[in-house]
A and B are shown apart, each in its own frame.
Chain A
Amino acid sequence: MADASPQRVSTPFQRRLLAEAWRRIEESGGSPVDATHAELAAVAQGGDFETRVLNRAQGLARSADLPRALHGLQQAARRAAWTLVVAGVLIGAAAARSTLNPDHAGLVNFYWVLVALLGIHTLAMLLWLVSLPFSFSGSHPLPTPLRAPFEALARMLAAAVSGNMQRTAQSAWMAVTGSGALGRWGLSALLHAFWLAALGGMLAVTLLMLSARQFDFVWETTILPDEAFIRLTERLQDLPARLGLGSLDRETIVASRRAAERPPPPGARRGWSALLVGSLIAYGMVPRAALLVISLLMLRHSRGRYRLDLELPGYARLRPRLLPASRKIGIIDADPGAVDGKAGEPRAGRLPAARETAVLGIEIDPPGTGWPPALAAGAQDLGIAADRAILESALQRLKSLQDRPLSLLVVCSLAASPDRGIARVLRDCRAAHHGPIALLLTHRARTALRLGETACREREGDWRRIAIAAGFDAAHILVLDLDDAAELRDFLLAHDDQQGAGGRA
């Protein structure tokens, strides 16, 4: 009853159940053996995210006994459901047997028997009906009193399984089939099946007792008016009458009132028996059977509508792998192998000693401390070259100054990346000038902020390397932030001392 198809072919619901079980196993720490293989296969098979998750689960399942565990659980559940049905038949039979006690054959209160046979059933059915709307809004599949026996059954089932895989499979199965719409209709179906079986048992025993024994059905009252019972009986037999069971006329009913001096008319026995059997069918079995059919249909419908909760972390984490945003194609135009120059040793640079200096800025913003920089007082300003044309004219001017004892200071930004383009510019500067040449790298603070200290130092090394390769003297490469007035002043003070000491020596 808990599951329909015993075939090996798995329904979409079974595939989802399998995926759900895998999620639980993976979340509890047990990692499947070859997830990579299954994932690659799932990606290759395509489809939307859920399809891929299901294919992945299927792929994983080939190497493990999880599907067998799930199948076993379904079998166990089916056995349990049938046990419940058999128990229902026996309980119903026993109830009917104790109600229509052969030791007390003879005068029997009809309404007493009816309430004993149908009372609990009717109460339980009303409780189920009343709880149904709540089970839609709340998350409980059924109210506690209806659910409790099944939870006890589930605990028994849980105790029976062994092994981690089985236990996880069991908890996944319980979670899926025991909650939400599936749980509501699954448990309802079980409940109605149980009651239908019990009513069937009652009917069988009732028929048996009515066949083999003689009961004189009467009704009695102490304080109620007789008319109430006569009316009640007439109302009661409306429904069974439609089934052809129940044809008591008013006289027979009136005559069946319990009286010490006279037994009920003999013709009334068949009529009352027919009403009893008709009531069992019309007020017991028919509604239960209808509810069972509805529950089973709803169960089937819910199974079809069951979807994995793909937002749960256990599924969501698969998304980048199963539904990648991109696929690598690879290197299509390879690097033939690069030649790198030697990296310059970082060391404190200084300006070359000379009477006059020419200053040329390359691709920099005018520094905060002014242009030309104060460290070359009275310098020849060659300007800041922002493009090739300005650079060409600056280099022309430099060439025209070559007859004077001049040192050239090239100012670059450490923030710029020391590429082959800038290396060419440095080579051109070197070629255009015969005297001493120095390179000043500004914007250190800004670069360090942008790249971090390690990468900044690396970049300094790269600048030294291309400068040395372009023919600069390693001693004449200095790092000095021209935006920072204090740093510039300190440098100038130190530089003057150095120059002074050099002059005295």
Chain B
Amino acid sequence: MNAETRLRVAIVGHTNTGKTSLLRTLTRDVGFGEISARPGTTRHVEATSLMVGGRPRVDLYDTPGLEDSAALLALLEEYRDRGDGIDRIRALLDSAAARGELEQEAKVLRQVLASDVLLYVIDAREPMLGRHRDELTVLGLAARPLIPVLNFTGSAESREAAWREHLARIGLHAVVAFDTVLFDPADERRLYEAVQAMLTPRYDLLQQLIEEREAAWQALQRSAAATVADLLIDAASAARRVREEHAAELKSESAWLQERVREREERCIRQLMELFAFRSEDVVAERLAIENGRWRMDLFAPETLRRFGLSAGSGAVKGAAVGVGIDVITGGLSLGMAATLGATIGALWSTVDRFGRKLLDRLRGYVDLRVDENTLRVLAARELQLVDSLLRRGHASLGQVELKREAARAPWQGADLPVALRRARHHSEWSTLTAPGAPAREAERAAALHALQEELLHQLAGAPRPAA
């Protein structure tokens, strides 16, 4: 077999078992075909190709549902004298019925004969019925390797075990569970491995596909974590200088800062959606209470904090870090001492400059407004929840998703924020919110971002964190 020959995979099954959903998930293309709960939504054969090594190598064919397998089987019985199964199917395809009432079934069979392997999609919530046996009998006549794919195995109604038993009794053992609603990359891998086992000549192609998908999955997780880390650094480092005794200014500046953080969060949601190739109007947002690309619950509302098991401090945005800044420079020395030190050690003028300005501001009655720590925890929690859902979500489902997760819990609860975020608190020039286009010191921000990215990956994996 030529190395460049494409592998042809037909996706078949009864109507409404999620064939198009499976295809969308395998291709990561949310725009493929049309999906609804009504029968016969896909009425044509539509093809798409999986890219391996940057070239289309594995063609997938989405076929209409087999609806009337009983009639199909009865007709095939009539051609019993025409030869083997394939000849009988050919005879049927030439018949008048193939252009009439069995037109959709004929399309499926035509495609089956033109394919190397069949994925037979089963709704695992349904019992095994006569029509399933009829369909498998018809497909068996085509003498193509067939892999039953159990869809909706994550559902509470799933009868996966019963299906496996039934299928084993008719000689189908290479059964793969692949839930198109609750996506698991391990399922995808098992699916390709099953094809690999059936089609040994194409082992290398499929192995390359498996490896590329694995790498892409890792890259996706890392990028998602970096996207969230970018948001958190922007929010943590944002600072706004206001006059302490000026109540009106304090209020308006707080509102301004809050609005910037809200906008930034929306941008993060957009970036994540784009990253996962989801459209923002997709169901995933609906389920997670995201409306118009924005979480329905306001970031700064006290109940949002409570939902994540955090308590609202003295206000979501508060002037906090000024004191910290002074502690850092004086290191326990008196204020005057620090000022003298600053004046004498000329070589360190830049460092003193940074903190010195703060000191001066403090004396003039200025404070820095910053985003509260708990708000940062909420931001992290919400965006991690979104990433988690996006990672676990197939590109298909229309119906309800019950993401099985325990009560939302903000990360770093009852503990210090990660070092990277604590560092960000002292670098207002890192924030694209309050210091857009600030030059230099990019490497420091990048280093903090990558440290935080690793921390977020730990959080995503649910692994115990190393001590901060």
- Hey, which bits of chain A sit against chain B, CB under 8 A? 27-28, 46-48, 139-141, 144-145, 147-148, 151, 154-155, 158, 167-168, 170-171, 174-175, 178-180, 183, 309-313, 316-317, 319-320, 323-336, 338, 363, 365, 385-391, 415-421, 424, 446, 449-452, 455-456, 458-459, 462
Decide if A326 touches B29 in the complex (CB within 8 Å): yes
Residues on B with C-beta less than 8 A from A148 are 349-350
Decide if A325 touches B230 in the complex (CB within 8 Å): no
The complex places the Cα of A327 from the Cα of B348 at a distance, in Å, of 58
Decide if B399 touches A320 in the complex (CB within 8 Å): no
Residue of B nearest to A314 (CB): B271
Q: A139-B443, A175-B440 are in contact. Are A455 and B398 (CB under 8 A)?
A: yes
Near A by CB (< 8 A), chain B positions 14-70 give 14-16, 26-29, 32, 36-40, 43-51, 54-56, 59-61, 65, 67-70
Residue of B nearest to A390 (CB): B130
Residue of A nearest to B277 (CB): A320
The complex places the Cα of A324 from the Cα of B48 at a distance, in Å, of 12
Decide if B15 touches A313 in the complex (CB within 8 Å): no
Q: What 0/1 pattern do residues 281 to 302 of B give for CB contact below 8 A with A?
A: 0000000000000000000000
Residue of A nearest to B102 (CB): A420
The complex places the Cα of A452 from the Cα of B444 at a distance, in Å, of 49
User: Which of A155, A168, A313, A424 contacts B223 (CB under 8 A)?
Assistant: A313
The complex places the Cα of A478 from the Cα of B120 at a distance, in Å, of 33
User: Which of A168, A178, A417 contacts B39 (CB under 8 A)?
Assistant: A417
Residues on A with C-beta less than 8 A from B223 are 311, 313, 316, 319
Decide if A388 touches B70 in the complex (CB within 8 Å): yes
Decide if B439 touches A154 in the complex (CB within 8 Å): yes
Which stretch, B84-92, B121-129, B170-178, B190-198, touches the partner chain A? B121-129
Q: A144-B350, A144-B351, A145-B347 are in contact. Are A326 and B443 (CB under 8 A)?
A: no
In the assembled complex, B442 has its CB within 8 A of some CB on chain A: yes
Residue of B nearest to A45 (CB): B54
Residues on A with C-beta less than 8 A from B157 are 446, 450
Q: How large is the interface on B (under 10, 10 to 19, 20 to 34, 35 or more residues)?
A: 35 or more
Residues on A with C-beta less than 8 A from B409 are none
Residues on B with C-beta less than 8 A from A174 are 439-440, 442
The complex places the Cα of A145 from the Cα of B277 at a distance, in Å, of 47
Q: What 0/1 pattern do residues 412 to 455 of B give for CB contact below 8 A with A?
A: 00000000000000000000100011011111101100000100
Instruction: Identify the interface centre among B60, B104, B155: most chain A CB within 10 Å of its CB.
Output: B104
The complex places the Cα of A385 from the Cα of B127 at a distance, in Å, of 12
Residues on A with C-beta less than 8 A from B274 are 317, 320
Decide if B27 touches A178 in the complex (CB within 8 Å): no
The complex places the Cα of A324 from the Cα of B26 at a distance, in Å, of 12
Decide if A417 touches B125 in the complex (CB within 8 Å): no
Residues on B with C-beta less than 8 A from A389 are 130
Decide if B67 touches A333 in the complex (CB within 8 Å): no
Q: Show 15 residue pairs from A and B whose CB-CB distance is below 8 angstroms, ordered by the A residue.
A: A144-B351, A145-B348, A145-B349, A151-B350, A171-B437, A178-B439, A311-B219, A320-B277, A323-B51, A387-B130, A388-B70, A391-B130, A417-B37, A421-B68, A424-B68
Decide if A334 touches B44 in the complex (CB within 8 Å): yes
Q: A326-B50, A363-B129, A450-B125 are in contact. Are A420 and B67 (CB under 8 A)?
A: yes
Decide if B50 touches A325 in the complex (CB within 8 Å): yes
Decide if A325 touches B45 in the complex (CB within 8 Å): no
Decide if A316 touches B439 in the complex (CB within 8 Å): no
The complex places the Cα of A180 from the Cα of B405 at a distance, in Å, of 41
Residue of A nearest to B271 (CB): A313
Residues on A with C-beta less than 8 A from B61 are 332
Decide if B37 touches A309 in the complex (CB within 8 Å): no
Q: How far, in Å, is B465 (CB) from chain A's closest CB? A: 20
Q: How far, in Å, is A119 (CB) from chain B's closest CB? A: 15
User: Which of B40, B45, B226 contacts A338 (CB under 8 A)?
Assistant: B40
Q: How far, in Å, is A393 (CB) from chain B's closest CB? A: 12
Q: A325-B50, A336-B103 are in contact. Are A311 and B44 (CB under 8 A)?
A: no
Residues on A with C-beta less than 8 A from B27 are 325-326
Q: A317-B271, A320-B28, A338-B43 are in contact. Are A333 and B111 (CB under 8 A)?
A: yes
The complex places the Cα of A275 from the Cα of B398 at a distance, in Å, of 87
- A-B contact sample (18 more), CB < 8 A, given A325-B216, A333-B45: A148-B349, A154-B439, A311-B219, A313-B227, A316-B223, A319-B223, A323-B54, A325-B28, A328-B29, A329-B48, A387-B133, A415-B125, A415-B126, A417-B39, A419-B15, A419-B39, A421-B67, A459-B38
Residues on A with C-beta less than 8 A from B220 are 319
Q: How far, in Å, is B345 (CB) from chain A's closest CB? A: 10
Near A by CB (< 8 A), chain B positions 133-149 give 133-134
The complex places the Cα of A241 from the Cα of B155 at a distance, in Å, of 88
Q: How far, in Å, is A225 (CB) from chain B's closest CB? A: 34
Decide if A386 touches B38 in the complex (CB within 8 Å): no
User: Which of A139, A333, A365, A446 contacts B44 (CB under 8 A)?
Assistant: A333
Decide if B65 touches A419 in the complex (CB within 8 Å): yes
The complex places the Cα of A187 from the Cα of B48 at a distance, in Å, of 52
The complex places the Cα of A417 from the Cα of B223 at a distance, in Å, of 40
Q: How far, in Å, is B407 (CB) from chain A's closest CB? A: 22
Residues on B with C-beta less than 8 A from A456 are 37
In the assembled complex, B110 has its CB within 8 A of some CB on chain A: yes
Q: How far, in Å, is A397 (CB) from chain B's closest CB? A: 18
Residues on B with C-beta less than 8 A from A391 are 130
Decide if B437 touches A28 in the complex (CB within 8 Å): yes
List of 3 A-B pairs having minimum Cβ-Cβ separation, nearest first: A387-B130, A316-B223, A179-B443
Decide if B436 touches A419 in the complex (CB within 8 Å): no
Residues on B with C-beta less than 8 A from A450 are 125, 155, 157, 399-400
In the assembled complex, B131 has its CB within 8 A of some CB on chain A: yes
In the assembled complex, B107 has its CB within 8 A of some CB on chain A: yes
Decide if A333 touches B68 in the complex (CB within 8 Å): no
The complex places the Cα of A420 from the Cα of B101 at a distance, in Å, of 9
The complex places the Cα of A419 from the Cα of B66 at a distance, in Å, of 9
The complex places the Cα of A308 from the Cα of B50 at a distance, in Å, of 27
The complex places the Cα of A459 from the Cα of B55 at a distance, in Å, of 41
Residues on A with C-beta less than 8 A from B26 are 326
Q: A320-B28, A417-B39, A451-B399 are in contact. Are A178 and B275 (CB under 8 A)?
A: no
Decide if B67 touches A331 in the complex (CB within 8 Å): no
Q: A316-B275, A386-B130, A417-B38 are in contact. Are A328 and B443 (CB under 8 A)?
A: no
In the assembled complex, B71 has its CB within 8 A of some CB on chain A: yes
Q: A331-B44, A338-B40, A421-B68 are in contact. Are A312 and B49 (CB under 8 A)?
A: no
The complex places the Cα of A334 from the Cα of B126 at a distance, in Å, of 29
The complex places the Cα of A309 from the Cα of B104 at a distance, in Å, of 49
Q: A327-B48, A334-B44 are in contact. Are A462 and B440 (CB under 8 A)?
A: no
The complex places the Cα of A416 from the Cα of B123 at a distance, in Å, of 10
Decide if A451 touches B442 in the complex (CB within 8 Å): no
Q: How far, in Å, is A355 (CB) from chain B's closest CB? A: 32
The complex places the Cα of A174 from the Cα of B157 at a distance, in Å, of 59
Decide if B226 touches A458 in the complex (CB within 8 Å): no
Q: A326-B28, A331-B44 are in contact. Are A319 and B130 (CB under 8 A)?
A: no
Residue of B nearest to A451 (CB): B37
